[in-house]
Amino acid sequence: MIIASNVTKKFGKLTALNNVSLTCNRGECIALVGPNGSGKTTIIKSILGMVVPDSGFITFNGNNILHDWHYRNHIGYMPQIGRYPDNMTIGDVIEMMKDIRSDAISLDDDLIVSFGIPDLYNKRMRTLSGGTRQKVSACLAFLFNPSVLILDEPTAGLDPVSSEIFKEKIISEKNKGKLILITSHVLSELDELVTQLVYMQDGQLLFHKTIDQLCFDTGEKKLTKAVASVMGQSKITSFGL
Amino acid sequence: MLFYTLFLLVTTFSVFSLDENPAKGLLSMLNIILLIVPLVSIMFSTIYLYNSAEFIELLVSQPLKRKTIWLSLFIGLSASFSFSLLIGIGLPIIIFQPNAIGAMLIGIGIILSNVFIAIAMLSSVKTRDKAKGIGFAILVWLYFTILFDGLVLFFLFQFADYPLDKIMIIISSFNPIDLSRILILLQLDVSAMMGYTGAIFKDFFGTSSGMIISFSILMFWVFFPVFFSIRNFNKKDL
């Protein structure tokens, strides 16, 4: 569904993405894992067309995304830090998004209801806590029933109850056959969600494996430990041992 | 924005009430339009664009054309500034000076606002750093209001032995503020004070074709920065 081929992006001297190739298909739930500054957010932004790669290309359903914008109708994006105009209320923001994506066929307001957002409709964005902002971003990402969900650090700042609701929502969407891309540092949370893992370091994609394969390779049962053992290895290799 | 409107309203009213002669009032208004309006337009727009950077980022991740986003921002800014100007300067002018010169003053004020909004959009898309962007905006304003005239004066003295009248017309089109000033001053019939060059100016800017040309040059000053800022925004990493 999404294919990135040899994508390279440099910010000045820093190579944010170094020849990254990635294939994502329907029904997969992919975790993007890696240390800070490894290029996770950059690859997500390239898929969304917010960052234009220096070389390489990305296709969505077989079409190159360069200079295209219609494909974003099929993507729900939840940014790391959601920022909205301060003087708008939650209701305004949601209405505005509905207006922007007026050609969405069906709306999915499960999350709005289960997060209790309607009670907060008249609150201004500037008065919201970080967690509530995250909830609004999550609602907006799921609202238009997109076939691809891109979630950048989704559970950071959510309370345990909300984060549980959110995870159940992700699982139910995954079971509907949608493609879900998640970046997170909280690996224990990803454990029950993801089917595949992409590990990035220094702008390079080190591996892309299914969870079963990864657990088999490392001899660990838990995702947390499997990734920890991989990270340990890559640290050793980067020291040249 | 409301404050800006009120400020314009109060100054215009006071300028017109201070002086018995409304033509003098118009001259004072001209100075306000040539100094304050560009400054407020360019500063407010630059700060606004930097403050809504994250929101623009959010919009870019939605199924919208980048060009549409950027043009909507321009239209939003332009509409609110033109509206403020219409109320703030238009209202007193309708009361005190309901004639062609008054209308021209408002028209030029609106075009100048748009020119400086356009320049603000170009400078904010070019630099990522807020402090740099705002600094550049101030510098542009300073250049067009003060430095440019100084440079022109210097140039005139250096080449005083040559006939420069025609060239002056071309040079003045490099500065939207100068161009606006000449257009208005000629309407006010004080061009006699500008000597021989004034006569040449009158010959060119006073005719309808000259006016049309100078107005289209002013429109170019809006169009080009917006055009280049769209081109840059299309390629920008957010």
Can you give the residue ranges of every domain in chain A?
A: 2-238
Say if residue B186's pLDDT is above 50.
yes
Predicted pLDDT of residue A238: 53
pLDDT digit string (tens) for B68-91? 999 999 999 999 999 998 888 888
**Per-residue confidence band for B195, with pLDDT thresholds at 50, 70 and 90:** low
Predicted pLDDT of residue B115: 94
B66 in A contact zone (CB under 8 Å): yes
Contacts of B58 in chain A (CB under 8 A): 79, 82-84
> Which of A50, A71, A97 is closest, CB to CB, to B60?
A50
Q: State mean pLDDT over B163-177.
A: 81
Say if residue B229's pLDDT is above 90.
yes
Q: How far apart are CA A99 and CA A88, in angstroms?
A: 15
Shortest distance between the Cα of B224 and any Cα of chain A, in A, equals 22
Residue type, B85: L
**Per-residue confidence band for A240, with pLDDT thresholds at 50, 70 and 90:** very low
Q: How far apart are CA B173 and CA A67, in angstroms?
A: 36
Q: How far apart are CA A190 and CA A192, in angstroms?
A: 6
**Which of A114-118, B62-66, B188-192 is predicted with the least confidence, judged by mean pLDDT?**
B188-192
Shortest distance between the Cα of B84 and any Cα of chain A, in A, equals 20
Contacts of A17 in chain B (CB under 8 A): none
Q: How far apart are CA B165 and CA B198, in angstroms?
A: 9
Contact A77, A38 (CB under 8 A): no
Hey, are the CB atoms on B237 and A83 less than 8 Å from each other? no
What share of chain B in percent tops pLDDT 90?
30
Hey, are the CB atoms on A51 and B57 less than 8 Å from each other? no
Mean confidence (pLDDT) of chain A: 85
Contacts of B66 in chain A (CB under 8 A): 69
Q: Top-level CATH class of A2-238?
A: alpha beta
Predicted pLDDT of residue B143: 93
Predicted pLDDT of residue A158: 86
A66 in B contact zone (CB under 8 Å): no
Which pair of tokens denotes residue B107?
């028209």
What share of chain A in percent tops pLDDT 70?
97
Q: State mean pLDDT over A150-169.
A: 87
Mean confidence (pLDDT) of chain B: 85
Q: How far apart are CA A17 and CA A54, in angstroms?
A: 10
Hey, are the CB atoms on B62 and A49 less than 8 Å from each other? no
Q: State mean pLDDT over A48-58.
A: 89
pLDDT digit string (tens) for A226-237? 877 877 776 655
**Of B72 and B198, more confident:** B72
DSSP string, A84-134: --TTSBHHHHHHHHHHHTTT-S----HHHHHTTGGGGTTSBGGG--HHHHH
A146 in B contact zone (CB under 8 Å): no
Predicted pLDDT of residue A241: 43
Q: How far apart are CA B143 and CA B130, in angstroms?
A: 20
pLDDT digit string (tens) for A71-98? 888 899 998 888 888 888 999 888 888 8
Contacts of A50 in chain B (CB under 8 A): 57, 60-61, 237-238
CB-side exposure of A156: number of CA atoms within 13 Å? 13
Q: State mean pLDDT over B93-104.
A: 83
Say if residue B187's pLDDT is above 80.
no
Which pair of tokens denotes residue A158?
């959510």
> Which of A52, A77, A84 is closest, CB to CB, to B237?
A52
Can you give the residue ranges of every domain in chain B?
A: 2-235
What share of chain A in percent tops pLDDT 90?
5
Q: How far apart are CA B44 and CA B1, in angstroms?
A: 9
Predicted pLDDT of residue B226: 94
Q: How far apart are CA B152 and CA B165, in angstroms?
A: 12
Contact A197, A204 (CB under 8 A): no
Most confident listed range (A28-37, A60-69, A103-112, B134-143): B134-143
